[in-house]
Structure 1
Amino acid sequence: MAKEVFTVKMTPLEAQKMIEENMDADIIFTDAYNLGDGKFILITAFDRYYVRSSSNTGLLVICENTTEETLVKVVSTGSGAGLFQIDWGAGSNFTRRIRKILNEYIIKVIDIDKD
């Protein structure tokens, strides 16, 4: 399971639109929560088949600005195959696609594995 979190200099609506328009994967689910006062939580789930792992990989993207900044949270799942669930880098590749799409708007990458 690969995961990334970063802040961007755009609204959640702009980030989600850019991701959806540029992502080479099937959108399987979207949901939007308008919290008022310009605050949003937007959820998009993608699916893509990777030959290297002989399996489909899911990607969940959450764009939200419930604090003072817009956060993009990305996590891949289901990319492993076989007894040991080895994904041969498919999950990391899928999450990196989001970073590439939003690269020029990223302000800061947040280390979520830090204790």
Structure 2
Amino acid sequence: MALDMRINLHPEKAAEIVNDEIIGGSVTGELIDSYVIQGDNDKMCVVSVYDKHYYRAGNRLTLTVIIDNMEGITKVHCVSGGGGEGFFRFDWGAAESFEYCVEEALSKYKI
């Protein structure tokens, strides 16, 4: 599953809020890497990859978050992966929960 939303916040500030939510709001959340592309006229794209342990999934999940305003409005796209065990990779909702923390952190900026 993936999450897409539009917000009324600059990508740099949105990335800061997401970072604070995942790392500051969790014992096991960590930023693996972040990549920033600077464009003309204050345009920016921030790609961040997070990692977090979910006990209910029995392992670590990753979350890739892309925030950009390259087309004027700031868009947020995130997708999680790596959850669950075995052939079917059933993760007890942990992947959706990881994505939801981004939506919750940015909910008051949603348009």
- TM-score normalised by length of structure 2: 0.91
Equivalent of 2:61, from 57, 73, 76? 57
Distance in 2, matches of 1:21 and 1:54, equals: 24
Question: 1:49-94 CA deviation, whole Å, 9 max, x = no partner?
Answer: 1111111100000010111200011100111211211111010000
Q: Residue 45 of structure 1 is aligned with which of 30, 44, 49? A: 49
Question: Which residue of 2 is the match for residue 68 of structure 1?
Answer: 72
Aligned pairs for 1:32-111 (under 5 A) are: 32-107=36-111
Distance 2:38 2:87 in 1: 42
- Contact kept? 2:80, 2:96, Cα under 8 Å: yes
What SS is found at the alignment partner of 1:36? coil
Q: State the one-letter code of the partner of 2:15.
A: Q
Give unpaired runs (5+ residues) of structure 2: none
Alpha-carbon RMSD across the aligned residues, in angstroms, is 0.9
Length, aligned pairs only: 106
State the AA in 2 paired with 1:8: I
Runs (5+) with no aligned partner, structure 1: 108-115
Consecutive aligned runs of 4 or more in structure 1 exceeding 2 Å deviation:
none
Percent identity for Structure 1 against Structure 2? 25
